[in-house]
Amino acid sequence: MLLALSATLIVVFVLLWEVTWPQISEALARRRARRQLIPVDAFDPGRERRAEQRARQLLRSCVNEEEWAMYRDLGFIRVWGGLAEGPEPGVSEQTDGGAPYAYLVYPHKPIVAYLPQTRQLLNEYCVEFPDETRPYGSPRLPDSDDVLAKWMALTGDERRLIASSNMHLPGRQVDPKQARRDLWRLSEWERSRLARERRSAPSSPAT
Amino acid sequence: MKPGHGEIVLAEGDVDVPADEQLLIDEFRAQLDAGMWAAVPQTSKAGRREARMVQAFDEIPRDAERVIFFPRAAGGA
């Protein structure tokens, strides 16, 4: 009698176990999932600003003093086309002569090629520097790093950068009016800078 | 250069010290294998500041202060 009762209880227990275990297991898994600590990259509002500050320092240490001042004051850098000789830096007469072509390098905007003598816009070269080391993409470079990357690629291997970019006619992304206005600002900036340098330079004795 | 971070120092060392040089070579190769471009800022003979793109460790001038790695350029929209 006792044996039969025990066997019946065991069978009932096993059957109940078979029926309820999947539900219990699922409930336990849900509970574990709810309580699991998921690593989250907390947003740091100062991170981008600190990155930009570091990028500006790096840019300043790489370009010359004139280019850094240009970027600081105007927000872009002019890079002379490397396939032709540009003027000597800081010499106004030769600057007036100009080089056959040059580029305006903006942060996170296409590179604009133009003719310095006529201020005619030639092309826009759309180029990005995507970080391939992350599986799902990543935020873009800080502004100054983007400018520095373009500056290094243009001065180091102009052909390769241009070949990597998508070329468009002027006006696709950079407003031609804005670009011409920037060229005018650049000429005014150079004029005032040259005047300052002349004033600060010691006057040569009259002969 | 790292998106969202700016400049990050990857490795430092003296190329005249063999252990340091090997460390720098390994890091250089790792960065190029990850698809980065490498450039050495320098002053040209004409006095201009410019970058020299390098694709092998041997191309880096021995007196270079630093090599900057940045993501490879790609055509934008």
In a structure prediction context, what are the per-residue pLDDT tens digits for chain A, which is 207 residues long? Answer: 788 888 899 998 899 888 888 888 888 888 888 887 776 666 667 888 888 999 999 999 999 999 999 999 999 999 998 766 545 554 444 344 455 899 999 999 999 999 998 899 999 999 998 876 655 555 688 899 999 999 999 999 999 999 999 999 999 999 999 999 999 999 999 999 999 888 887 765 544
3-class DSSP state for residue A107? coil
B73 and A88 in contact by Cβ < 8 A? no
Distance CA A77, CA B20 (A): 36
Which positions in chain B touch A162 (Cβ < 8 Å)?
Answer: none
Sign of torsion over alpha carbons A166, A172, A176, A182: negative
Give the HSE-up count for residue B24: Cα atoms under 13 Å, Cβ half-sphere. Answer: 21
B16 Cα to chain A: minimum distance (Å): 24
Cα gap B42→B44, rounded to integer Å:
6
pLDDT of residue A32: 86
Q: How crowded is the C-beta side of A160, counted as CA atoms within 13 Å?
A: 15
Q: Report CB contact under 8 Å: A131, B2.
A: yes
Strands A120-128 and A166-168: antiparallel
**Identity of the residue in B7, B47, B73 whose CB atom sits nearest the CB atom of A89:** B47
Residues listed for chain A? 207
Best A147, A152, A173 member to test B by mutation, with max B CBs in 10 Å, is A152
pLDDT of residue A191: 94
Interchain contact, B75 vs A166, CB within 8 Å: yes
pLDDT at A1: 79
3-state secondary structure of A55: helix
B34·A133 Cβ contact <8 A:
yes
Which strands make up the sheet holding B49-54, listed edge to edge?
A: B49-54, B36-43, B68-71
Partners of A113 in the β-ladder:
A103, A123
- Chain B residues near any Cβ of chain A (below 8 Å): 1-7, 34-37, 39, 41, 46-53, 68, 70-77
Q: How far apart are CA B68 and CA B59, in angstroms?
A: 14
Q: What is the ipTM of this complex?
A: 0.90
Give A141: exposed, middle or buried? Use CB within 10 Å, 0-12, 13-18, 19+: buried
3-state secondary structure (DSSP) of residue B44: coil
Distance CA A144, CA A60 (A): 9
Cβ pair A156:B39 closer than 8 A: yes
Residue where the block lists tokens 């450039």: B39
pLDDT at A91: 46
CB atoms under 10 Å from CB of A93, counted, come to 8
Whole-model pTM: value is 0.76
The identity of residue A152, as a single letter, is M
Instruction: Evaluate the CA torsion angle A192, A188, B43, B8 in order and state its sign.
Output: positive
Q: How far apart are CA B56 and CA B47, in angstroms?
A: 25
Give the pLDDT of residue A186. 96
Chain segment B15-47, per-residue pLDDT in tens:
999 999 999 999 999 999 988 999 999 998 888
Nearest to B74 among A128, A151, A152 (CB): A128
pLDDT score for B41: 93
DSSP codes joined into one string, A130-186: --TTSTT--PPPPHHHHHHHHHHHHHHHHHHHHHHSEEE-TTSSS-HHHHHHHHHHH
